[in-house]
Every structure is written in C-alpha cells, then in structure tokens.
Chains A and B, each alone.
Chain A
C-alpha cells in the first residue's frame, strides 16, 4: 500500500508478556517516529529514527521499551514484561527527507494489557 502500515491493529496481552509492534513506513521515507497515545491524552514521543539509527531515544519510558529499524524500512517497537500502564495506542509516522515534510501516520496499534 501507499501509506504507513502498522500491525497488529489490536493486541491484547497478559501482564508480564513481551509484545512486538511493527511499522512499515512509506517507501523512501528516511525518518520514522513512534508515539504513544493514552486514551483521551495527547501524543507522547517515544523514539525517532533517521535511516537505521536513532538520534533521539529520549521518550522511551523505561528500559522495558526498545526499538529498531532495519534496511531504512520496517521498524519494530518491543515492550518487555508489559504492565497495565503500557495500555495505549502506539502510532508510527514517517516523513520524507527535507525540512518542510508532512508526517504520515499509520492507524496505530491498540495495546491492551490485562
């Protein structure tokens, strides 16, 4: 497809389990972003990739969270030992190289930790 694709769209997991969330950005987009959005709240920045490197990981809330990107394409966000407070929508966005760049979002992964 032409847009940003995220999978799964919904994930229910038990507390303590690990989860992997996937993002396929638009082809050719070098920058990729992960955000978290809790119900009724704003976007919370997690991590930003430029190519395969992550110049800014400052938003990752704890060492249970990690992310990687390979081939300047797909990215995975991994949450280990999930907690109930991890329940949120995880949004991925990508942008073209350049200064005046529109960010295109995927539809998100809704994570519920029970």
Chain B
C-alpha cells in the first residue's frame, strides 16, 4: 500500500460547483498534514495546513479524520483559476514528508 494515496482524476467541474478531494495515508503516527497546489509546469506551493479541528480559508476547507486516516479538501464556488493539481502531503515525523501523486482539477466555464 502506498504511504499516501490520492485519486489522480481529472475532476472536471463547472464554475460555481463544490468539489471535494480525499487523500488516505498509511502511517497512523503521521503528525502533520498539508494540501499543496501545483499549476501546470510550476513548482508545488502550500495551499493550506490541515489541523485536527479542521480549518477553513475562504472557499477552501480542509479536514482530518485520524480514525479513518484520511484528509479532505473541499472547494466551494469553484473558479476557473482553481484549475490545478492538488497534492496531499503527510509529515510522518523526523521531517519525512511524503507527497501524494496529486488530484487534477479542471474547472469548466
């Protein structure tokens, strides 16, 4: 089993739609979690951290479910500019950071 698993997509959604991605991780001792965004031919950049209590940043909501070992990212009111690949990232401790392969989102006019 891969350490961090994501559905690669692509997810094609209309503008204004709500879309959610999940990511599962295998190491129950993992300590911290992040979502990164990668635009085409660019380097990944941090989108948001994922806290145990869940956190929200504008149209984006991230949640962590330790019991089921997954994290989620919800995007409300999708914009064309949200089109990108979303990478799930897990810090397993001792600074070992593992990236998922990413979920591709395409927002359609």
A binding-site residues for B, Cβ under 8 Å: 30-31, 33, 35, 41-43, 45, 48, 50, 55-56, 91, 93, 95, 97-103, 105-108
Contact = CB atoms under 8 A, between A and B. Distances in A.
B34 A102 contact: yes
29 contacts: A42-B8, A42-B87, A42-B99, A42-B101, A42-B102, A43-B44, A43-B87, A43-B99, A48-B96, A50-B94, A50-B95, A55-B96, A91-B43, A95-B95, A95-B97, A98-B95, A99-B31, A100-B31, A100-B32, A100-B49, A101-B95, A101-B97, A102-B46, A102-B49, A103-B34, A103-B36, A106-B43, A107-B43, A108-B43
Interface in B85-109: 85, 87, 89, 91, 93-102
Contacts of A50: 94-95
Among all A-B residue pairs, the 10 with the closest Cβ atoms = A42-B101, A105-B43, A31-B95, A100-B32, A43-B99, A99-B31, A42-B102, A102-B46, A107-B43, A99-B32
Contact of B97 (A41, A55, A103, A106): A103
A56 B97 CA distance: 11
Contacts of B8: 42
Nearest to B85: A42
Contacts of A107: 42-43
B45 interface: yes
Interface of B: 8, 31-32, 34, 36, 42-46, 49, 85, 87, 89, 91, 93-102
- In the complex, which of the residues B43, B49, B97, B99 has the most CB atoms of chain A within 10 Å of its own CB atom? B43
A107 B97 CA distance: 18
Nearest to A56: B96
Contacts of B34: 102-103
Contacts of B93: 99
